[in-house]
Amino acid sequence: MALYDELVNIVGNKYCTDKDYICVSYSRGIDPCLPEITPQIVLRPESTVQVAEIIKIANKYKTPILPRGGGCGLMGGSKPISEETILLDLTRMDKILDINEDTHTVTVQCGISWSRLNAVLLDKGYYTGNMGPGSGLTASIGGGLSHHSGGGGGCAKYGKCTEHCVGLEVVLGTGEIITLGSQESKFIENPFIRFAFGPDLMGIFLGDNGIMGVKTQATLNIFRRPPYYSGKTFYIEDDSYEKSQQIVLDMMKLGWSKELGIYDFFFYPPPSVMGITTDGLIESWGDIKGGVIFYVHEAFDEQVLERTSDVLEGIAKKHSTRELGPSPEEGNITDWFYAEQGHWQIYHNLFSMMGPDYFVATTEFIYPIAKYPEMLYKLDKWEEDHHEELFDADAESGVGQVYMLNHNCCYFGTGINATSDEDLKEDVIKLWKEQFEFILKEGGVLYMCGQIGSHVIIDSRVYSDEYYNFFKGVKEVTDPNHIISPGKFRF
């Protein structure tokens, strides 16, 4: 029996296809300039057992498998690297299996989107805290857990989305199924803690960029959503890199999310603000030239919210030029962000507003809050040093936003904006790689690596030889025939 027929036997005709006009729609993620490659077969399994059987067949035929969740990867992670790939569209595995209000956990199949899960949780007064990747609406739980993602809301309070994973079911590259966390024990039915029974082997699969196994089921902590919130937006005319950092540090001194309920904190550097004002995207910001910060904080008690609002406002006013707001019409972005639609799309909408003429080659990374102004200056310098190459590639470099992650790190939403010109794509990809390398060598941490980022990590020899050998060794154990996502990290 041929490969295709064996796969049809597992998922049925309806959910298995090799038709070019269906497979071609899986040839890209959101990344706009990496080569589009069409998988040979696309499958939509509905269960862990089906995934395991598919992987066994892929081993038999030595054919690579690419797991794909919401298809929102920005660095080539959710599209095939080679044409013989069998692509697993995991979005059919979208069931909520258990909302456990005793253990404050939810167990889901990993193909469900963060937004769909949170819609159900919010109806019950809960949320996942970190609301998922900046892709927000459609990104899957599996994708978020594969990339330490954030940006969909709640990072300042809840950190990366992987931080609240307490149970995980994975199909290894051999087709074996394992469960991790407290369910490493056969005697525990409901997962409730990640760190259990010795070493934290779940960590091997979190942030793995989909190379160590296929995540099929996950248990996440859930949190009661505080009923009260408030948020402010402030403009900082001069020295906004330092002043925005000072605002964050002063807020941290007084307790950050634990005491002040900070849920999200974003800083838009001056070039990003200029982009917004030049295009008139937020009319009420007028032609301000500096940086902008906005924060959202929550509380279970209205009086507590009022008190913390005063404290936060006092700090922000001390270091800023003026408030933009308080209403959305007056430029306060926070109501839109938290109470309307923005929290679902704060990041990717910035790409889409560029329209067909531009694309973004993102180099987003994690960096210590203590040093983010320095890094902003270094990236400005990088842009200056690469002025000619950027000009020739009809591109520009910049930081869209810096948003706080927990109490000591921040995400940099940085990258290269380029004109959509087929003839210049190679030049842009070269600059993209160069900026990655620069960031890595300046101590930036890539969390979403995909194809391009993982290659730069290896090609720039970011890992020590000892670590890379160890990493390879672990991959050999979980996926000895390199069936899953081959090519990433040069495996």
Residues that bind another protein (CB under 8 A): 14-15, 17, 19-22, 24-30, 32, 36, 38, 42, 44, 70-72, 89, 91-92, 113, 115-116, 118-120, 122-123, 127, 135-138, 225, 279-284, 328-329, 331, 333, 336, 338-345, 348-353, 355-356, 359, 420
> CB of 399: closest distance to another protein in angstroms?
18
In this complex, which beta carbon is closest to another protein, that of residue 32 or of residue 144?
32
Which is closer to another protein, CB of 114 or CB of 256? Answer: 114
CA distance 145 to 218: 9
Q: How far is the CB of 347 from another protein (least distance, A)?
A: 10
DSSP per-residue codes, 42-67: EE---SHHHHHHHHHHHHHHT--EEE
Closer to another protein by CB, 170 or 262: give it. 262
Q: How far is the CB of 324 from another protein (least distance, A)?
A: 11
Token digits of residue 260: 């002040």
> Does residue 326 have a cis bond before it (omega within 30 degrees)?
yes
Q: Which is nearer to another protein, 138 or 240 (CB)?
A: 138
Nearer to another protein, 92 or 482 (CB): 92
Find the helix or strand (DSSP H, E) in which 303 lies. Answer: helix 302-319
Which among 203, 212, 148 is positioned nearest to 181, based on CA atoms?
A: 203
| Nearest distance in Å: CB 176, another protein | 27
Q: Which tokens is 425 given?
A: 């794509």
Question: Three-state SS across 389-424?
Answer: HHHHCCEEEEEEEEEEECCCEEEEEEEEEEECCHHH
CB nearer another protein, residue 175 or residue 325: 325
Q: Identity (one letter) of the amino acid at 352? A: S
> Is 253 buried (19+), middle (13-18) or exposed (0-12) by CB count in 10 A?
exposed
Under 8 Å between Cβ of 82 and 486: yes
- Shortest Cβ 462–another protein spacing (Å): 29
Q: 170: part of which helix (H) or strand (E)? A: strand 165-171
Distance CA 317, CA 236 (A): 10
- Return the number of the residue (338 or 436) whose C-beta is nearest another protein: 338
SS3 category, 172:
coil
The nearer residue to another protein, 36 or 380, going by C-beta atoms, is 36
Nearer residue to another protein within complex by CB, 349 or 481: 349
Q: Minimum distance between the CB of residue 282 and another protein, rounded to whole angstroms?
A: 6
In the bound complex, what is the minimum distance in angstroms from residue 198's beta carbon to another protein?
A: 38
Residues 6 or more apart whose CB falls under 8 angstroms from that of 146 comprise 69, 77, 206, 207, 208, 209, 210, 215
Q: Smallest gap, in angstroms, from Cβ of residue 9 to another protein? A: 16
